[in-house]
Amino acid sequence: MARITVEDCLKRVPNRFVLVHMVANRVRQIREGSEYLVSSPKNEDIVVALREIAAGKITLKGLPDDEHGKPI
């Protein structure tokens, strides 16, 4: 599988700060026993979380919209 980059994730998440929070929360869920949402053998939890976000399996709820109805 190809390398995962921050830029891959930023296509789905508005900024790096939100991305950090999403990854941290997802890693915590995985370490508490949650199942992987993507197939990612032999990867660490943080890489799995980034792959899930880049694949669109993890989304962020409650982001405010701009005046045009698009998420900011």
Distance of CA 4 to the CA centre of its chain: 11
62 located within any domain: no
Give residue 71's pLDDT band: very low, low, confident or very high (50, 70, 90): low
* Domain span at 34: 6-54
pLDDT digits (tens, 9 = 90+) for 1-16: 578 889 999 999 989 9
Largest CA distance in the chain: 43
List pLDDT tens digits, range 17-63: 999 999 999 999 999 999 999 998 889 999 999 999 999 999 877 65
Residue 66 lies in a domain: no
Q: How far is residue 21's CA from residue 27's CA, in Å, rounded to a whole number?
A: 10
Give this prediction's pTM. Answer: 0.78
Whole-angstrom CA distances from 56 to 1, 21, 33, 67, 68 are 17, 16, 20, 24, 23
- pLDDT score of 49: 95
- Looking at the structure of the chain, the number of domains it has is 1
> Is 68 inside any structural domain?
no
